[in-house]
Structure 1
Amino acid sequence: MAHQTVGVYSETAPGERRVALVPAAVRSILDLGLAVVVEAGAGREAWFPDTAYTRAGATLVPRAEVFDAADILIGVRPPNIAATHRFRAGQALICLLQPLYVPDLIRRWAGQGLTMIAADLMPPTRGRAGPMDFLGAQERVAGYQAVLTAADTFGRCLSEPAPGGGTGRPARVLVVGRGPAGHQAAATACRLGASVHVCEAHPRSCAYITASVRGSDIVIVTAEIPGRPPPVLVSARSIRTMRPGSVVLDTTASVFGRAVELAQAGVTRVVEPGVTVVGDDNLASKTPTGASKAYATSIAALLTTLVRGGRLSIDRTDPTQAEVVVTHHRDVLNDTVWRRILDEISLAGVP
């Protein structure tokens, strides 16, 4: 039986600079008995040239050929592809699918026989990060970048040099969220000399967060909840108690919701009394080389569990696969996604 081909497509979402597979990870895919084709230029924004992929053993092809030739498509985000495109029955797609937000897309592609594997549904590992910790790895990069973005926006150094040597009062940084992004943000801010406080990202902590915002120079909110809009944790009223020149950064602000009341997805704006509010849920893409390496490591580890004898092997009884395989053989396997589809059908009156 012929072995299958993995296809890597270029990301086309605005501001997305990551690539799903880096040259260093190609060998591990080839060792599984799979061929690898890469869309020409797919790694350019993350500083991985086409020549690096060909040296690693991949074949460069045009975009259309990636979707035609690949048995297993891999990306960071779902591919932006014409509604008239039909996937080949039996093809598979692995990406950060966010299936609860795109029920119409899931329904349409499932009807074409596309097996969809949502890497973002991979449950976090207990304790130390594991090789398939897709979201955790990206959140750590985002937490690091969040501090750099906030520091670049802030009006002074996080560890202010004092006249005659030494340092003055360090900037006060409040990190809301104790997940991977929050921990990395706190560690990065500490290394830059800030005075850092971390609190839980939960509605029951809102009173404490409000009191802490008042005395902070920088507030970084990391309250991502996969598949659900984040709770609003920082109110407009609390932001207006901050000093002019302060910064509030919401790493969850997207078209699906926000954790900071005044944040807007992809927007940086100044509100009274002179506080800069940044909304950006795509911070990992601002560090595309490191984020892509981490993502590719997770992809290679996942494929190791999914591929047998050079072919994708879906086992509905496998606990790991049960978490991430959303559709297979035109069936929607994830109960939560199926209920969301049914809700959308009911609201739209679609048969």
Structure 2
Amino acid sequence: MLIAVPAETQLLEKRVAATPETVGKFITAGCDVVIERGAGLAASYPDEMYGDKGAKFADDFAATCADADLVLKVRPLNEAEIGVVKQGATVASLAAPFGNPLLQQYADAGISYFCMEMVPRISRAQSMDVLSSQANIAGYKAVLLAMEHYQRFFPMLMTAAGTVQPAKVLVMGAGVAGLQSIATARRMGANVEVFDVRAAAKEQVESLGARFVEVEADEDAEDAGGYAKEMDDDYKRRQAELIANHAAKSDIVITTALIPGRPAPVLITEDMVKAMKPGSVIVDLAVEMGGNCPLSELDQVVVKHGVTLVGVANVPSLMATDASALYARNLLNFISPMLDKESGGLNINMEDEVIESSLLCQDGQFLKPQLLNQGEKS
């Protein structure tokens, strides 16, 4: 089986879908691997490192992928790339399933397409979970971005010139990114408060040394997939009042709240920003989906009402080396169980929950029609 790893072309994307480590393991398993020249350079993986593992090289996307049986990418295939990948080939990448207008075209081109965002959150698939691996990096880097723009110390300092009080950090959302933000901010010496609609997050938050802030509610705000779900208007009103009170006292707010398939919920309003202290910082990790603060601007750092808003969309790409390493291992762990030693190809078993959940299309048929409707709405 020929595996292709092209260079990513999306603006500001520095990650690569395979590292020398994972390429070596695919080759050991009996696969051939071709790398587009320079594909790993932005992530500090030069061609020589792939060559040492036995990879071959091609000069552009077409030469890399035209004959490939399996294409590994970070970002979804774009319209130009669809026509290059051969009919019957398999692609595995992030696919932006809730807003990608090209989903039907993947099926029409005869491609089998694995959407890595839709790998189920089950114990067996934890090592394949790209959302968690990349969110972990985003949560860590969010604190470093906040420190870069915050013009005071994070920890308490007792000096001859007086005592400096620790920074007060409010983390909105205690998912993977939020928990890593909490742990990192605590290591830096900040006092941390955390808001999450899911009461089940309280124990994890407190175990990291942070204070949990919650709105009392009769119904569970967590869906069957472990994600936060949208709540009623009364809950949202009480939530807004609570957040406004705590945001006004905070030096740094890190927002991570996302609802799959929906615009990011607005948690920090303009009035809340106006009430924050001059020099405060908001890092909006949901900016790519509209932002948890409407004042955030995509891929911009702006100052409004005396508050710095950091709206970097692709935060994992800022740590491309480790982000690529983790993403590549996720792909390796996902693909390896499908490698058929007898045929040399992929055994796509639709009775496997991981495969059934993540396979968008096969043999010209789109298998998740609800996503097509979702894409039309967006």
TM-score normalised to structure 2 length: 0.84
Give the superposition deviation at 1:24: 1.1
Question: Structure 2 vs 1, CA of residues 136 and 61 (structure 1 numbering), >3 Å: closer, same or farther?
Answer: same
Partner residue, 1:188: 184
Partner residue, 1:54: 51
Partner residue, 2:11: 14
CA contact (8 A) 1:5 1:37 kept: yes
Give the superposition deviation at 1:83: 7.1
1:308-349 deviations in Å (ceiling 9; x for gaps): 1221222222211111000100111124224436x56xx9xx
- Summarize the alignment of residues 33-182 of structure 1 with structure 2, pairs less than 5 Å apart: 33-63=30-60, 64-80=62-78, 82=80, 85-102=83-100, 104-125=101-122, 130-164=126-160, 168-182=164-178
Q: 2: distance between equivalents of 1:305 and 1:236?
A: 49
Letter in 1 for 2:149: T
Q: 2: distance between equivalents of 1:83 and 1:22?
A: 22
Partner residue, 1:216: 250
CA contact (8 A) 2:16 2:73 kept: yes
Q: 2: distance between equivalents of 1:58 and 1:191?
A: 40
SS in 2 for 1:131: helix
Pair 1:265 & 2:330 matched: no
Task: Give the stretch that moved more between structures: 139-148 or 72-81.
Answer: 72-81
Q: 1: distance between equivalents of 2:65 and 2:55?
A: 15
Letter in 2 for 1:142: A
Q: 2: distance between equivalents of 1:166 and 1:57?
A: 60
Letter in 1 for 2:154: L
CA contact (8 A) 2:119 2:125 kept: no
Partner residue, 1:331: 365
Identity among equivalent pairs (%): 34
Partner residue, 2:374: 340
Q: 1: distance between equivalents of 2:318 and 2:277?
A: 28
CA contact (8 A) 1:44 1:50 kept: yes
Letter in 1 for 2:77: P
Partner residue, 1:317: 351
Give the superposition deviation at 1:129: 8.7
Q: How many residues align?
A: 337
1:53-83 deviations in Å (ceiling 9; x for gaps): 0101211211221121211111110134527
Q: 2: distance between equivalents of 1:165 and 1:28?
A: 57
Letter in 2 for 1:286: L
Partner residue, 1:226: 260
SS in 1 for 2:75: coil
CA contact (8 A) 2:296 2:311 kept: yes
CA contact (8 A) 2:83 2:109 kept: no
Letter in 1 for 2:121: P
Pair 1:297 & 2:329 matched: yes
Partner residue, 1:288: 320
Q: 2: distance between equivalents of 1:165 and 1:75?
A: 54
Q: Which runs of 5+ in 2 are unaligned?
A: 198-227
Letter in 2 for 1:184: Q
TM-score normalised to structure 1 length: 0.90
Moved over 4 A (4+): none
Q: Which runs of 5+ in 1 are unaligned?
A: none
SS in 1 for 2:102: helix
Question: Structure 2 vs 1, CA of residues 12 and 160 (structure 1 numbering), >3 Å: closer, same or farther?
Answer: farther
Q: 2: distance between equivalents of 1:62 and 1:215?
A: 54
1:231-265 deviations in Å (ceiling 9; x for gaps): 111111101101110001110111x4221121121
Give the superposition deviation at 1:30: 1.8
